Structure 1
Amino acid sequence: MHPISIRTALLLGAGLAAITAVPAAAQDPATDDAAVAAEEAEAGSSNDIIVTARRRSETAQDIPLAVTVLGGQQIAETGAFNVGRLQQLAPTLQFYSSNPRNTTLNIRGLGVPFGLTSDGFEQGVGIYIDDVYYSRVASATFDFLDLDQVEVLRGPQGTLYGKNTTAGAINIKTNQPTFDFEGTAEVSLGNYEFKQARVAVSGPLSDTIAVRVAASATDRRGTIRNVTSNQDIQSLDNLGLRAQLLWQPSNDLKITLAGDYNKQDANCCGSVFVRTVSTQRPLNRQFAALAAAQNYAPPSTNPFDRLSDLDSTLNAGNVIAGVALRVNWDVGPGTFTSVTAWRYWDWLPENDRDFTGLPIVSLSQNPSQQNQYTQEFRYAYSGTKFDFVVGAFAFDQRIDTQGLEGQGAAASRWSINPSNALSNDPSVLNGLVARNTQFLKSTSAAVFGQLSWKVTDAFTIQPGVRLNYDKKSGFYQRRVFTGTGVELFGTETDARSRAQLAIFQPQQTAPSDTDWNFTYDLTLSYELAPDVLAYGTYAKSFKTIGINQNGLPTDANGVPIAAAGTIKPENVDHFEIGVKSRFWDRKATLNLAAFRTDIRDFQATVTNGQFGVLRGFLANADKVRSQGIEADFNIQPSERFTAYVNGAYTDAKYVRFVDAPCPPELSGGTTVGAGQTPSAPGTPGGLSPANCDISGQRLAGVSKWSFAFGAEANAPGNVFGQPGQFYLGYDGSYRSNFSSNASPSAATRIDGYSLSNFRAGFRSDDGLNIFAWVRNAFDEDYFEQLFIAPGNTGLIAGLPGDPRTWGATVSVAF
């Protein structure tokens, strides 16, 4: 079936289910009102939230760990339908995405370097869905599907979650198959032609077999108008399917087979003109002069007109799918768990890398395919004096990429020095292409364990260890062809070939490395009083070796620097203290945490300013540090009112990074020689440093202050003969300014902003929920990211955040 017809069926099916289930719910009598009421009273008095953050079921307030727990209903009603939108509810989470592959997911400012993504290094924030590790951060851009709850674990989680969690983990739990028939259906409509539908149905096939099937679809036209293609870009076009089959032959054994398929086909991803900044390139090679020479002007100099003129085809085709087999076996004193999974990723991008309406970079396509296999065994035991988890984990991954980069008819005038007569000949660079072939093989194995020793009823000691082995090997080949199909080998000496080789340089590398690493942590916790838990943690964690998978930087003679093929692992020392408390008869919760994380050999992305040689490669910064304070407060004085305020102060900076890439105002000039001094920033034709010392400056993407706050009030009422409650909710967020470039620059600083979301509706006791919503209610103008265009021309492009959006949702549980 064509994807469009699937989405249409979902919308019709969800709408029909929402309509037909309402009277059915109203007519269905309660089978045991007393039992239901007793369960609800008990739940309301305890107000406990169950989490599996430590790979066993516990209450969130009883674990010595900074964790934010977001329920499926809260996520649905606030419009946080993917990981990216969670940052408005979890202020220590940072999410940036210029396209699904180039997506950054950080916690407390740490995780991966801000900017271009490379397959050659690991993520620092692990994404887990039903115990399965999702190695591709692109999965964070997909819609949540049949969600139970999300746990945002802050700080290193290397003992139980592995080497890829130096900053934290996102632990996502979906709803599981049930032996009672149940289901949900939801339809949302809004401006920008927003349409979203979700359906989930669960029930028994026999006394021992149950099945659950869920589907979702999201469509929205783009928020930026491309005047060249006469299309709206930055659209949403997501489709998700999940099926789970549970076999429970006894109360002690559960075997679940799950499969999922997720597809994106958005008209994405683009940008708008933001501003220009003076660089140290000669004046006739900066943006204003180059644009004037070709009679070019952007469609608007006001980025919030949301106009673009990108002339290359845009595409963000993205498929993530997989199968998992999960076994939970109660073997008496403990539980044995096995999780076997295969995951697949298919990425089909098309971009416009010159950020203009001129045919400079006419092709930028790097499709990738990934196959990933994981196997985890765990045994969890809970006793009166000791709890422990032990296990083993294996991971195997292969990524293949076929890249194609091409120059267009305007490239010669733009990229060749005007003093060179070849700049007036469009045929020199028009049609010049680089064909890139690369693969990455990555293998990991680990054994791990964590023990909780209850020394007394109040005092617990929790040590944890993990031993990891990693092996990475890669291959990269770039072949260069002229517009007439002649291959260039890099040895040509004629002027025309040298001009072409200045754009694309052939290269072949095959970096590889192996590494062993030992991770450990120790947490001490003490119950100061009933419902008041204090804890302190030290964690020694790491992020494994990286390799420069996209090619190597070259020396002054154009020879690849072999030593740059691999980069060192990150070494992490983490300290944290915290207090978790409930008071006022458990109507209020206040959790506080203070942390400091030091990382030696931080894996950074170094960006090259030229067009085609090498956009970015990996390098080690000597040391970075993130420290701060977090507070989470929520209150529910009665069933008629709830409120929350979560805040974080994060001071994340480069302690020492002396050979970082320079910001645009210090780039583009002649590289300084011995005894020379760099010119002042923004001096046309000046002298530029080979690299810059950014020690002491803030890490990219991190706001010092961030807050999430909100409240909901309700009053009893009746709709369609169903008792329930009318409600009004507000969710707000604020973050202070942050840098949108690895090397801070005034040209790429994003000002702080606040967002306000409102919702109002009716929620019945039998599962009907009808509400209207408005997001970014005050139509705040803000940027999600700013980009430095290649070539050191001084062009700054950007991605504006969503404008005001509004709509309505009808959902029903049956």
Structure 2
Amino acid sequence: MKTIMNKKPQLALCALAVGAALSVGAQVQAQETQEAKEGKLERIQVTARKTTENLQEVPIAVTSIGAAELREKGISVITEIQQFSPNTTLQTSRGTNSTLTAFIRGVGQQDPLWGYEPGVGIYIDDVYMARPQGAVLDLIDVERIEVLRGPQGTLYGKNTIGGAIKYVTKEMTGGTEFNAEATVGSYAQRDIKLTGQLPVIDDKLYVGFGFADLNRDGFGEYLQSALPNQDRENYNKDLWAARFDVEFRASDDLFVKFNYDKTKDTSNAKGGYRLLPSLLTNAPVPDSVYDSYTSLPTSNLVELEGYSFMVRYDYNDAFQFKYIASHREGYSPTNIDFDNTALDIFDVPAEYSDENSTHELQMNYVGESVNVVSGLYIYDGESCGNFDAILGFLGRAAFGTPGLTREVTGCNNSESTAVYAQATFQMTDELSMTAGGRYTDEEKTAIVNNGLVFANVYPSSGWIPGYTRPDGQLVPTVLGSDLSGDGVLDAPKSQDWSRFTPRLGIEYQANENTMLFASFSQGFKSGTFNPRATINEEGVNPEIVDSYEVGVKADLTDNLRTNVTLFSLDHKDRQYVGFGEGNSATDLQQVLRNVAATSAKGVEAEVTFVATDDLTFNLAYGYIDEKINKNNSIPPLIGLANTPKSTMNMSANYVIDSDMGTFVLNAGYYHRSDYLLFETSNLLEQDAYGLVNVSVNWESQDGDWYASLHGKNLTDEEYLVGGYDFVGIADDGSYLPGLGGDLTLIGYYGDPRTVHLTVGYRF
């Protein structure tokens, strides 16, 4: 059983991505690489603690990848960042093209359904992106991407128990700039990206813009479809994104920034690969892992839109005040064929919608012996959705009805207020202490309507949550109050949670180039309600992570940097949806409870060696060892999902200066050991694998023209990044039909070998 899943099958994203660093100017690139060209280590600035600091002076485990490195390695989507950050998993989730599955140090969230909270926070210029839908997103003009590992509950709040990922965009330089870029590549890739900025009032008011149109044919196709005349490409890409920025420097002390962005992704829904032959159809297991079958429309849509407003005021050399406001909306109708056959065995058309607003007021202080970061944060968000689990074949066979649909809809609303402060006290020239805390108060309200309809129905059929369907059938309210019994919601389910999350650390500057640190930090993932509730159950309590770290950041010489962190964490009150007492793969009653606790310990090391003025080597290594301490889940936990015991990246960068311009050669090897796709099942387990990536970059002497050639996954490895396992196991180890009456064991795979060429011009 396990052997079938581990090997490459023998039986025969698109994400929202707007290429990072589209207009990395010659001046910016020179600033980032000058130290390396002189045979010295680069000084890296980060904002991991909400203030600008040298990476080597920040006492947390953080990976920073700057714009020049993103461009040189051809990194275009966030999922590729996992290759450069130890103990990190960033993958496109299952049957959708834009939903992010994120785990850091074994902590994250597998299920992206509304109501569930992520375990890794995504931030765009310190603005929280609340939902995983649409989170596979790289913004235009990215200055750097930071990966903060470990709980970030003090400064970043709830839902960062695994860590946080920060997009940091560039502030404008003040001059007139324009960048045009075109890319062609494998699978008919054809991208156009335009960015620029223009001063409206010299040294005062600037506007900037960005636009990207990204297209690629599918890695595979839908071999069979119940619907004629539809696009049968699978794993294709078809999206556009735009961004508009305004910056106003009213004075040397006052800076104002407004930005607006919108993305529309019409890539096809992603079909999975059947790892087992169907019992109910005669279609064979496909020859390619990127081929599939479907009985649903292949159409898919993700629309994201948002704006943010920031005011920064330097009161004097010591005090800085900052106000950040944001509003974001998302809408995503999608068609997920769980069984991936041309029959309606197990189809799940769904709609997701969300809307949230945030306000944050910061006060930062820098003194001779103490630095303080503090603030007030307010979040108001609504996440809604509906899905129809269509089991039409089962309905006709077992009940003689036109079909069978489990119809679920609901909303989960959250209002959250938090205050936080973190201070670093300089006790001696070498010794400092950091202490901080955050208090969060949150109220959630939720409604779930869940019922069976003996017909095949779809979200687009006009059904309104809480009311009788147009066909006369009532889908009852099961979570919330329906006092009249008429299906109309009288009052939603409501519950409050509050939590104080502390951080305490000590730092010792052994010498000018070596810092030792130790810390304790705590984070929590919000309490919530079961979005699939079949009974009027209570909400579950927050998940808690306590983390301990000991580390060293050392520039041992002018050309050798070694950053090492040892960590240990306890993950308590883990939230799981489990089956009812029947413990059956066909059981529809699922309840959400705090039923598990795990712990982990490990090491993370990042090493940079500048061998010569032209040659640099990098190593990133992570190891994690987990333990299950409490295991009341049904089915029980058997390990951590999406968490290999070890990850490693080795790369080399070589610079050649010539009369034709500057060439940068980059080669890397990324390795992941074996890992489970789900914590409660070993039916989908990926063997260890490695990816080989090679890039050649060129820039003209005056810096206006540039080009790059990137080859990724050159050995064409096939590796699982998602799946569905709705099958049972008999006593003799054979497979039994699961929900829908078929053997539904499905895999989704990472990108195959691709090569692409980019040519750009900037002035």
Q: Same fold (TM over 0.5)?
A: yes
| TM-aligned CA distance change 1:617 to 1:343, over 3 Å | farther
CA deviation map 1:6-53 (0-9, x unaligned): x9xx99xx99x99xx9xxx9xxxx9xxxxx999957995562111111
Q: 1:192·1:222 contact (CA, 8 Å) conserved in 2? A: yes
For 2:653 and 2:456, the matched residues in 1 are separated by 66
2:544 equivalent among 564, 571, 574: 571
Determine the structure 2 residue equivalent to 1:712. 653
1:319 aligns with 2:303: yes
Determine the structure 2 residue equivalent to 1:495. none
Determine the structure 2 residue equivalent to 1:753. 689
1:64 aligns with 2:59: yes
Question: Deviation of residue 80 (structure 1)?
Answer: 2.3
Determine the structure 2 residue equivalent to 1:527. 509
Determine the structure 2 residue equivalent to 1:618. 592
For 2:748 and 2:36, the matched residues in 1 are separated by 48
Determine the structure 2 residue equivalent to 1:109. 106
Q: 1:101·1:117 contact (CA, 8 Å) conserved in 2? A: no
Determine the structure 1 residue equivalent to 2:246. 245
1:604 aligns with 2:592: no
Structure with bigger gyration radius: 1
Determine the structure 1 residue equivalent to 2:621. 647
For 2:645 and 2:196, the matched residues in 1 are separated by 44
Question: Deviation of residue 217 (structure 1)?
Answer: 2.2
Percentage identity across aligned positions?
26
| TM-aligned CA distance change 1:360 to 1:705, over 3 Å | same
For 1:743 and 1:443, the matched residues in 2 are separated by 32
Q: 1:82·1:144 contact (CA, 8 Å) conserved in 2? A: no
Q: Which runs of 5+ in 1 are unaligned?
A: 1-6, 31-35, 277-286, 417-421, 489-500, 553-559, 662-691
Q: 2:375·2:421 contact (CA, 8 Å) conserved in 1? A: yes
1:215 aligns with 2:204: no
Once the two structures are superposed, the pairs formed by residues 739-778 of structure 1 within 5 Å of their partners are: 739-745=676-682, 747-767=683-703, 768-778=705-715
Secondary structure in 1 matching 2:75:
coil
CA deviation map 1:715-744 (0-9, x unaligned): 22133xxxx222321122100110112213
Question: Deviation of residue 639 (structure 1)?
Answer: 2.9
CA deviation map 1:333-380 (0-9, x unaligned): 211000011111111111212232222235x22212211010000011
Q: 1:314·1:352 contact (CA, 8 Å) conserved in 2? A: no
Secondary structure in 1 matching 2:647:
strand
Q: 1:358·1:410 contact (CA, 8 Å) conserved in 2? A: no
Question: Deviation of residue 219 (structure 1)?
Answer: 1.1
Q: 1:360·1:411 contact (CA, 8 Å) conserved in 2? A: no
Q: 2:115·2:383 contact (CA, 8 Å) conserved in 1? A: no
1:725 aligns with 2:709: no
Question: Deviation of residue 312 (structure 1)?
Answer: 1.4
Question: Deviation of residue 381 (structure 1)?
Answer: 1.1
| TM-aligned CA distance change 1:403 to 1:345, over 3 Å | same
CA deviation map 1:192-251 (0-9, x unaligned): 011222221012101321111112222111112211147221112222111110111101
The size of the alignment, in residue pairs, is 695
Determine the structure 2 residue equivalent to 1:595. 567
| TM-aligned CA distance change 1:629 to 1:433, over 3 Å | same
2:184 equivalent among 178, 184, 189: 189
Q: 2:395·2:454 contact (CA, 8 Å) conserved in 1? A: no
Determine the structure 2 residue equivalent to 1:807. 756
For 1:739 and 1:780, the matched residues in 2 are separated by 18
CA deviation map 1:442-491 (0-9, x unaligned): 01000000001011121110001111001111011135433399999xxx
Determine the structure 1 residue equivalent to 2:486. none
For 2:592 and 2:755, the matched residues in 1 are separated by 42
Once the two structures are superposed, the pairs formed by residues 454-493 of structure 1 within 5 Å of their partners are: 454-483=426-455
CA deviation map 1:234-275 (0-9, x unaligned): 112222111110111101000111111012111122101113
Larger mean CA deviation between 211-220 and 530-539 belongs to 211-220
For 1:196 and 1:604, the matched residues in 2 are separated by 41
Determine the structure 1 residue equivalent to 2:321. 336
Determine the structure 2 residue equivalent to 1:298. 283
Determine the structure 2 residue equivalent to 1:394. 378
Once the two structures are superposed, the pairs formed by residues 27-66 of structure 1 within 5 Å of their partners are: 40=34, 47-66=42-61
Aligned partner letter, 1:544: S
1:445 aligns with 2:441: no
Secondary structure in 2 matching 1:166:
coil
Q: 1:188·1:808 contact (CA, 8 Å) conserved in 2? A: yes
For 1:616 and 1:214, the matched residues in 2 are separated by 45
Aligned partner letter, 1:811: G
1:198 aligns with 2:172: no
User: Greater helix percent: which structure?
Assistant: 1
Q: Which runs of 5+ in 2 are unaligned?
A: 1-16, 226-230, 464-472, 481-492, 728-736
Determine the structure 1 residue equivalent to 2:408. 436
Secondary structure in 2 matching 1:88:
helix
Question: Deviation of residue 303 (structure 1)?
Answer: 5.0
2:601 equivalent among 627, 650, 667: 627
For 1:602 and 1:616, the matched residues in 2 are separated by 16
Once the two structures are superposed, the pairs formed by residues 336-355 of structure 1 within 5 Å of their partners are: 336-355=321-340
Aligned partner letter, 1:755: L
Determine the structure 2 residue equivalent to 1:699. 640
Larger mean CA deviation between 154-163 and 401-410 belongs to 401-410
Q: 1:299·1:307 contact (CA, 8 Å) conserved in 2? A: no
Determine the structure 1 residue equivalent to 2:610. 636
1:379 equivalent among 357, 363, 372: 363
Secondary structure in 1 matching 2:155:
helix
Secondary structure in 1 matching 2:201:
coil
Determine the structure 2 residue equivalent to 1:89. 84
For 1:123 and 1:484, the matched residues in 2 are separated by 32
Q: 1:634·1:643 contact (CA, 8 Å) conserved in 2? A: yes
| TM-aligned CA distance change 1:784 to 1:313, over 3 Å | same
For 2:610 and 2:269, the matched residues in 1 are separated by 42
| TM-aligned CA distance change 1:89 to 1:775, over 3 Å | same
Determine the structure 1 residue equivalent to 2:494. 512
For 1:41 and 1:629, the matched residues in 2 are separated by 28
For 1:659 and 1:154, the matched residues in 2 are separated by 27
Determine the structure 2 residue equivalent to 1:657. 631
Q: 1:157·1:169 contact (CA, 8 Å) conserved in 2? A: yes
For 2:155 and 2:760, the matched residues in 1 are separated by 37
Determine the structure 2 residue equivalent to 1:549. 531
CA deviation map 1:134-177 (0-9, x unaligned): 10122322343221100100111111111121111111111223
| TM-aligned CA distance change 1:383 to 1:544, over 3 Å | same
Q: CA RMSD in A?
A: 3.1
Aligned partner letter, 1:621: V
Q: 1:480·1:487 contact (CA, 8 Å) conserved in 2? A: no
Q: 1:299·1:309 contact (CA, 8 Å) conserved in 2? A: no
Once the two structures are superposed, the pairs formed by residues 137-156 of structure 1 within 5 Å of their partners are: 137-156=132-151
Aligned partner letter, 1:50: Q
For 1:411 and 1:314, the matched residues in 2 are separated by 23
1:581 aligns with 2:518: no
CA deviation map 1:71-108 (0-9, x unaligned): 12222332321221211222321123112575321111
For 1:547 and 1:118, the matched residues in 2 are separated by 11
1:786 equivalent among 708, 723, 726: 723
| TM-aligned CA distance change 1:543 to 1:483, over 3 Å | closer
Determine the structure 2 residue equivalent to 1:4. none
For 1:620 and 1:716, the matched residues in 2 are separated by 59
Aligned partner letter, 2:721: E
